[in-house]
Chains A and B, each alone.
Chain A
Amino acid sequence: DAGVTQSPTHLIKTRGQQVTLRCSPKSGHDTVSWYQQALGQGPQFIFQYYEEEERQRGNFPDRFSGHQYPNYSSELNVNALLLGDSALYLCASSLRRGEAFFGQGTRLTVV
């Protein structure tokens, strides 16, 4: 079992650009959640996808959007990048409301 995989592991983007981060959930999991973790802080919930729809959303602007595919994999898109978007982005998968398993994250640096 490959567990939760995220790509890429590191990324450097320029202010104003757009970025797409990808997540493949653990086998058998149907729910994907995305978190943003700033340096030295706990993860902050961005949104959750289930059955290809955004089910819940945290306090993040519309610049943050996502998608879930029929195979349950998911993407996180961020438009008009700001310096403050620099963070570790974590993907977690679960079987609906079950225990969450996390990927290793994508480190995004905006310059």
Chain B
Amino acid sequence: AQTVTQSQPEMSVQEAETVTLSCTYDTSENNYYLFWYKQPPSRQMILVIRQEAYKQQNATENRFSVNFQKAAKSFSLKISDSQLGDTAMYFCAPLSGNTPLVFGKGTRLSVIA
């Protein structure tokens, strides 16, 4: 079974600064996807960024980028130029084979003005 560990229950960052959220996972699959989802107080899960495990290049979406270390099974999210709207719960989730999305416990990020 897949497991996901997000070791930072809460983090805070000053507006315009950079913050990195960590995630480690365990899977026996070789081909899989990794996702970071954001859940603001409005409750809706929003996809932030995705990474295909077969790709060595780290994914980037505007201010969001990942550091994917396949051998270490590590998938961290870097948010640059943090904005107040980035305040949310962030969840890491792998997806592989026929298994459903498996979520970690999340990291609560607060962006401070």
Q: Is A110 an interface residue (CB 8 A)?
A: no
The reply to whether A105 and B105 contact each other, CB–CB distance below 8 Å, is no
Q: Which of B46, B98, B100, B106 contacts A58 (CB 8 A)?
A: B100
Count of chain B residues near A, Cβ 8 A = 21
- If A42-B103, A42-B104, A42-B105 touch, does A101 touch B43 (CB 8 Å cutoff)? no
Q: Complex formed: what's the CA distance from A92 to B102 in Å?
A: 13
Q: Complex formed: what's the CA distance from A74 to B102 in Å?
A: 21
Q: Which of A33, A103, A107 contacts B44 (CB 8 A)?
A: A103
Residue of B nearest to A57 (CB): B100
Residue-wise interface mask of A (89-111) relative to B, using a CB-CB cutoff of 8 A (1 in contact, 0 not): 01010000101111111010000
Q: Is A81 an interface residue (CB 8 A)?
A: no
Q: Is B47 an interface residue (CB 8 A)?
A: yes
Residues of B within 8 A of A100 (CB): 47, 95, 101
The reply to whether A56 and B98 contact each other, CB–CB distance below 8 Å, is yes
Residues of A within 8 A of B99 (CB): 56
- If A42-B106, A99-B50 touch, does A104 touch B42 (CB 8 Å cutoff)? yes
Residues of B within 8 A of A45 (CB): 100-102
How near does chain A come to B71, taking the closest CB pair, in angstroms? 25
- If A41-B105, A56-B100 touch, does A104 touch B43 (CB 8 Å cutoff)? yes
Q: Complex formed: what's the CA distance from A104 to B41 in Å?
A: 10
Residue of B nearest to A106 (CB): B43
Residues of B within 8 A of A58 (CB): 100
Q: Complex formed: what's the CA distance from A56 to B99 in Å?
A: 8
- B residues bordering A, Cβ < 8 Å? 4, 35, 37, 42-47, 50, 91, 95, 98-106
Can you identify 21 A-B contacts, CB atoms within 8 angstroms?
A33-B100, A41-B105, A42-B4, A42-B91, A42-B105, A42-B106, A43-B45, A43-B91, A43-B101, A56-B98, A56-B100, A88-B43, A90-B45, A92-B101, A99-B35, A100-B47, A101-B47, A102-B37, A102-B45, A104-B42, A107-B43
